[in-house]
Each structure stands twice: as structure tokens, then as C-alpha cells.
Amino acid sequence: MRSSQEIILGIDPGTRILGYGVISVSKGVKLLDLGVVNLKKEGSHFLVLQKIIAEVSKLIRRYKPTLIAIEAPFYGKNPQVMLKLGRAQGAAISAGLLKDIPIYEYAPRSVKLAVGGKGSATKEQVAQMVQHILNFKCEVKYLDATDALAIALCHYQSEKSLTTLAAKEDNKIRIAKINSKLTRKGASQSLSMGRKTLSSIKSLGHSGSWEEFVKSNPGRTIKTKKTAK
């Protein structure tokens, strides 16, 4: 069950630029912040990882997110690029895990589908949809930041869909229970009536007759109309 306010930190990991976006979810969704961390000036790959951990930790302290949504590394042809990108994602995840924050991972295609309705959407198209959803404008240079917001929105949409599905399933269960009660009640009433009828027939004994039963139980018989010959 969703709390009164949920803070989602979306992260688009990278080895040169890391994008982040923060949204709050209550009755609706609201933009809190977005931006990028420039990693181009770091001397080595390990210093890049160190800065990612430090900067994500700062964001966590500032916004106190209830969860982190992060994009999964895409599959490329260059193994070294994939390795470094995976390390960058791991560094961001580590910063969250150290604070016991739940982490959710989404594939790039899933993010684009959730926000733009098309898995092949470009960064520019994703940026336009994110700005439309959250009602704000930003400069083109912050495309990594709008990607991060899209990741946060992807989690929001996924959670919203699951909540709706759970509500529908609960409703189905309630209806099934009501129908089951009605069925049991109807069966119980039919059984009770049958027992009364059987008891009445038995009370006639061997000396009784059908005519006597009809006279003593006028409400339990159906009169048929005689057809003209």
C-alpha cells in the first residue's frame, strides 16, 4: 500500500554524464528536481565510480527517497563499454543499498514504452513527453536528466498499474464471496422446504392419501387449467 507521500529518485547511470530526476507521489505526481553529474573531468574510471557514490549519496540525504528507480545497462557491441557502464550502475545502486533504500531496475525499452508509448523513442521524444507529463520546460542539454525522470515515471506507472490490478482482483474476490453466500443461502432454503414437505408426507402415515396432503398444504400445489376439448 502506498504511503501518504512517496519520493522516487530516478537515475540514468553513465560513465561521462549521470542524470537524475526526483518526483513526489501523493494524490498526483510532482517534479521536485532534475539535473546531471558531470564525470568527464575525473582522472580514472575508479574516480568516476567514487564520485557517483558520493553524488548519489548527497541526493539521498537531500531528498530522502523512499525508493530508487534505475535504468539497466543496454546491450552493446563493445564489452569494455558495457563493463564500465555496469560498474557505474553498480556504484549508484551501492549508494542506495547502504541506506537500505529499495532499488528497482527498468530496461530502456520499458521506460520509453511507459512514458512515450513507443519503445524506439529518441531521447528528444522522451524529454518532450516527460515535460508534458510533469508540466515543465528544460534545456536540451539536460536530456540525461529527463531520461532519469522518465525512469522514475516508469516506476510510478508500473506501481499504479499494479495497484489498479490488485483492486480489480479484490473486487472479483468480494463478488465471488457474495455469490457463494447467496448460493449457500438458496440451497439451505430449498433443503429446509424439502425437509418440511417430506415431514408432512411422512406425517400422513400409511393411512393417509394424496387428497389429504393437498387439503392440509394448499400453498404447496399448483392448480392446472383444464383445456377445452
Q: Active-site residue numbers?
A: 12, 71, 144
Question: What b/e sequence results for 34-58 when a residue is b if at least 16 CB atoms lie within 10 Å of its CB, and e otherwise?
Answer: bbbbebeebeeeeebbebbbebbbe
Concatenate the DSSP letters of all residues of 161-209 into one string: HHHHHHHHHHHHHHHHHHHHHHHHHHHHHHHHHHHHHHHHHHHHTTT--
Three cell numbers, residue 7: 519520493
Cell numbers for 77:
557491441
Do the beta carbons of residue 32 and residue 54 sit within 8 Å? no
Beta bridge partners of 70: 11, 105
